[in-house]
Amino acid sequence: LVSRQTKSEDTIIRVKNAVFGGGSHVLIAGPCSVESREQLRAMAAAMKSVGVGIMRGGAFKPRTSPYDFQGLGLEGLKMLKEVADEYDMVTISEIMTPSQLESAAEYIDIIQIGARNMQNYDLLKAVGQTNMPVLLKRGIAATLDEFVLAAEYIMASGNEQVLLIERGIRTYEKWTRNTLDISAVPLLKQETHLPVLVDVSHSTGRKDILLPCAKAALAAGADGIMVETHPNPQAALSDAAQQINIDEFYSFWGGLRGSGLYK
Ligand code: PEP
Ligand code: MN
């Protein structure tokens, strides 16, 4: 079902006034984790002031250590919805279990399946049984075959609104958090009809090469970019090192638009 051979035209996914796929680009920004209303409001105001209307923010966080901040859970999703309603934004947030899905659905617009859960088949089937758009992240060590088959699980359960996002894979390279597999972009565009996005934050894990990586992604045919942004990254409860502040976000966004690659 994901294959271009089955459906030759691009799948276009519309969520409120956001359009994924079909030739136009999207920028998704927002914090790694939802931390407070004030944090979300500061970020939402900055984003809206420059016309960016799709906000990410994790509330159920898949942390490597059980002792790290695990997210605000449903309370966090309620905050995200409250602020998104105030600022008229489209929201994306991760869920990790089928049981979270039911309660989460009314608070968010797009469900994120994180890299660690790309092969959680019960979860894939559960989101496949909803009619909500799903942002599926590539697994930490997933081949493209495994990635598209994970998308196939969602589609085979009846949900055609799947967005693919490359977020870097684990290699021996240590200068970046993961290795951004730019070749995944044209390959996924060629082999599937689904929108393909690139998460420049989790793939690189660093702030200084976000813009060139985002440009490379668009040049390679990506339908959009995700970047982690926080009003005060040093104080962030997760991924503090890779999140950019509001001024850095403005210059990233300006650079991307100024490149002429962003349509
Ligand atoms: C995230 O986007 O917050 C996240 C945890 O990313 P990933 O699943 O790609 O590691
Ligand atoms: Mn993160």
**Cβ contacts of 254 within 8 Å, gap of 6 or more:** none
The verdict on residue 2 lying in a domain is no
What confidence category does residue 173 fall into, taking pLDDT thresholds of 50, 70 and 90? very high
Question: What is residue 218's predicted lDDT score, i.e. its pLDDT?
Answer: 98
What confidence category does residue 58 fall into, taking pLDDT thresholds of 50, 70 and 90? very high
Please report the atom of ligand 1 found closest to the CA of residue 112: 2
The verdict on residue 64 lying in a domain is yes
The verdict on residue 236 lying in a domain is yes
Per-residue pLDDT of 69-120, as tens digits, reads 999 999 999 999 999 999 999 999 999 999 999 989 999 999 999 999 999 9
Please report the atom of ligand 1 found closest to the CA of residue 62: 5
Question: What is residue 42's predicted lDDT score, i.e. its pLDDT?
Answer: 98
Per-residue pLDDT of 220-243, as tens digits, reads 999 999 999 999 999 999 999 999
The verdict on residue 103 lying in a domain is yes
The verdict on residue 5 lying in a domain is no
Per-residue pLDDT of 124-133, as tens digits, reads 999 999 999 9
Question: What is residue 18's predicted lDDT score, i.e. its pLDDT?
Answer: 98
Q: Which H helix or E strand runs over 211?
A: helix 210-219
Question: What is residue 186's predicted lDDT score, i.e. its pLDDT?
Answer: 98
Question: What is residue 68's predicted lDDT score, i.e. its pLDDT?
Answer: 97
The proportion of the chain whose per-residue pLDDT surpasses 90, expressed as a percent, equals 99
What confidence category does residue 23 fall into, taking pLDDT thresholds of 50, 70 and 90? very high
pTM of this prediction exceeds 0.95: yes
What confidence category does residue 167 fall into, taking pLDDT thresholds of 50, 70 and 90? very high
Residue 90's nearest CA partner among 104, 100, 80 is: 80
- Atom 3, ligand 1: residue with shortest CA distance: 32
The verdict on residue 263 lying in a domain is no
Whole-number Å distance, alpha carbon 149 to ligand 2 midpoint, is 24
Q: How many CA atoms lie within 13 A of 106 on its CB side?
A: 5
Average confidence score pLDDT of the chain: 98
Decide: 68 in ligand 1 pocket, CB within 6 A. no
Whole-number Å distance, alpha carbon 38 to ligand 1 midpoint, is 22
| Distance from C-alpha of 201 to C-alpha of 111, rounded to nearest angstrom | 19
Question: What is residue 152's predicted lDDT score, i.e. its pLDDT?
Answer: 98
Which one of 65, 199, 203, 238 would you pick to mutate in the ligand 1 pocket, going by the greatest count of ligand atoms within 8 A of its CB?
Answer: 199
The verdict on residue 49 lying in a domain is yes
The verdict on residue 176 lying in a domain is yes
Please report the atom of ligand 1 found closest to the CA of residue 165: 9
Count: domains in the chain:
1
The whole domain housing 52 covers 13-258
Whole-number Å distance, alpha carbon 135 to ligand 2 midpoint, is 15
Whole-number Å distance, alpha carbon 52 to ligand 2 midpoint, is 19
Decide: 76 in ligand 1 pocket, CB within 6 A. no
Residue 111's nearest CA partner among 136, 80, 77, 134 is: 134
Whole-number Å distance, alpha carbon 113 to ligand 1 midpoint, is 8
- Atom 6, ligand 1: residue with shortest CA distance: 114
Question: What is residue 95's predicted lDDT score, i.e. its pLDDT?
Answer: 97
CATH classification of the domain holding 124: 3.20.20.70
Residue 226's nearest CA partner among 164, 160, 181, 151 is: 164
Whole-number Å distance, alpha carbon 5 to ligand 1 midpoint, is 30
